[in-house]
Structure 1
Amino acid sequence: MYRSLAETIKVIINGQPINEERKAILQPLIDFIQLKANSRQDINLNFICTHNSRRSHLAQVWAQVASMRANIPKVYCYSGGTEETELFPKVVETLIHQGFHIFSVANVDNPIYAIKYSDNALPIIGFSKKYDSPFNPASAFAAVMTCSQADSGCPFVAGAEKRIPIIFEDPKISDGTPEQAMVYAERSLQIAAEMCYVFSMIKG
């Protein structure tokens, strides 16, 4: 893992405690992962938000890193939306600032990024897509709903083995304000802390 990213995670672990209310919200995801780990099955997680532009990508990226850090094998993290837009540039900027190495794969209307947490690990591919894109798993996955609009507007996710709502406040509320960078950083760190907590609870 990149040193700057490891330092970010160290700060998170030491300074971002998870309260009991959030632990209860996260428990169904822990239970799903533990069940799959116990039976040595692939652990497919599809994080879903309306536009697949902010929270779902942050959750996908941090969950993948958290699983690696906790040495939980066979974890495959995806993201999708009820609509296809683009990975919001401030998310890319925030992740870079927090220690990831990110480079453009395709500079198109819906850009494609390679998001790396280590020189020798496969990159996480980041781009906006619908949750049922061929890029994502078609079955045997947990649909983790990261925004209330997607949770209420998408009552059925085809192929999902389990549906788990874990709602995060949208950092989009800060767009165009002086607080934007701070809000995006805070939301990213919150998601990172919660994903690290989830995987720290998995027993091998």
Structure 2
Amino acid sequence: MFSYLNSYIDRLDPKSIPPDRLERLQPLVQYVQENQANLNLVFICTHNSRRSQFAQLWAHVAAKRAGLTLNSYSGGTEVTACNPRTLAAMERAGFDLYSDAVMDPNPVYRIAFAEDEDPIMLHSKLYDDPENPNADFAAVMTCSDADENCPFIPGTKARIALNYEDPKAFDDTDQETAAYDERCLQIATEMFHVFSAIEHGY
């Protein structure tokens, strides 16, 4: 992995996760443990522009670091675009980002994390987009709004509520950068906890 990204990951502290969040993460840990042979996760929030994008990215990287094969996806109940503030936080964490269609209202971004790995492709899409699996996956709900407004998601083996506070509340304020970095760090820490639990058997 890129050296700056490695440094960021090395500073993650899963011991900082509060007990209530550890309890909330346990269904995801259990799902990953029980489905390692065919592991598909779809992270879902309303606009597929912030929290679900962070989660798709960090789950992929955490699984790679743990030596596990994961197919990581994301989607929303509406299509918007990957928010530029989300992308900026990813860059600050150490990812390389590129898109050859920046004038598109919903560009596809290539997110690189290592020289010898294929980039992760991110863009906003519906949770049932053809790019996403339609069976044998866990739907991980990263926001309460999507959780409440998607009472049924076809094809799921499990539905896991893992809500995160929306950094959008701080858009266009002097706390904006800190809020996005905080959410990026939280989701990274929790995804590394999930996949470290699998790696170390606890």
What TM-score range do you get, normalising by the shorter chain?
A: over 0.9
TM-score by length of 2: 0.96
Shift in Å at residue 61 of structure 1? 0.2
Equivalent residues, number: 199
TM-score by length of 1: 0.95
Whether 2:19 is the aligned partner of 1:23: answer: no
**Aligned residue number for residue 34 of structure 1:** 33
**Aligned residue number for residue 130 of structure 2:** 134
Once residues 124 and 90 of structure 2 are traced to their aligned partners in structure 1, the CA distance between those partners, rounded to angstroms, is 16
**Aligned residue number for residue 77 of structure 1:** 72
SS in 1 for 2:72: strand
SS in 1 for 2:12: helix
Once residues 76 and 152 of structure 1 are traced to their aligned partners in structure 2, the CA distance between those partners, rounded to angstroms, is 25
Identity %: 46
Whether 2:176 is the aligned partner of 1:180: answer: yes
| CA deviation vs aligned residue, 1:24-80 (integer Å, no higher than 9, x gap) | 10000011100012xxx22000000000000000000000000011111x2110000
**Aligned residue number for residue 96 of structure 2:** 101
Once residues 101 and 117 of structure 2 are traced to their aligned partners in structure 1, the CA distance between those partners, rounded to angstroms, is 20
Once residues 105 and 114 of structure 1 are traced to their aligned partners in structure 2, the CA distance between those partners, rounded to angstroms, is 9
Once residues 182 and 105 of structure 2 are traced to their aligned partners in structure 1, the CA distance between those partners, rounded to angstroms, is 27
2:86 to 69, 76, 91: 91
SS in 2 for 1:164: strand
Shift in Å at residue 105 of structure 1? 3.6
The alignment's C-alpha RMSD in Å is: 1.1
| CA deviation vs aligned residue, 1:78-104 (integer Å, no higher than 9, x gap) | 000001100000111110111001101
Q: Give the gaps of 5 or more residues in structure 1.
A: none
**Aligned residue number for residue 7 of structure 1:** 7
SS in 2 for 1:12: coil
Shift in Å at residue 106 of structure 1? 2.4
Shift in Å at residue 152 of structure 1? 0.4
Once residues 160 and 51 of structure 1 are traced to their aligned partners in structure 2, the CA distance between those partners, rounded to angstroms, is 20
Whether 2:56 is the aligned partner of 1:57: answer: no
Do 1:105 and 1:114's aligned partners in 2 also have CA atoms closer than 8 Å? no
Once residues 198 and 129 of structure 2 are traced to their aligned partners in structure 1, the CA distance between those partners, rounded to angstroms, is 29
Match of 1:201, as an amino acid?
A
Once residues 129 and 95 of structure 2 are traced to their aligned partners in structure 1, the CA distance between those partners, rounded to angstroms, is 25
| CA deviation vs aligned residue, 1:118-172 (integer Å, no higher than 9, x gap) | 0111111000000000011111000000000000010111111100000000000
Match of 1:19, as an amino acid?
P
Q: Map 1:192-203; keep pairs closer than 5 Å.
A: 192-203=188-199
Once residues 122 and 43 of structure 1 are traced to their aligned partners in structure 2, the CA distance between those partners, rounded to angstroms, is 18
**Aligned residue number for residue 124 of structure 1:** 120
Whether 2:156 is the aligned partner of 1:157: answer: no
Once residues 41 and 50 of structure 2 are traced to their aligned partners in structure 1, the CA distance between those partners, rounded to angstroms, is 17
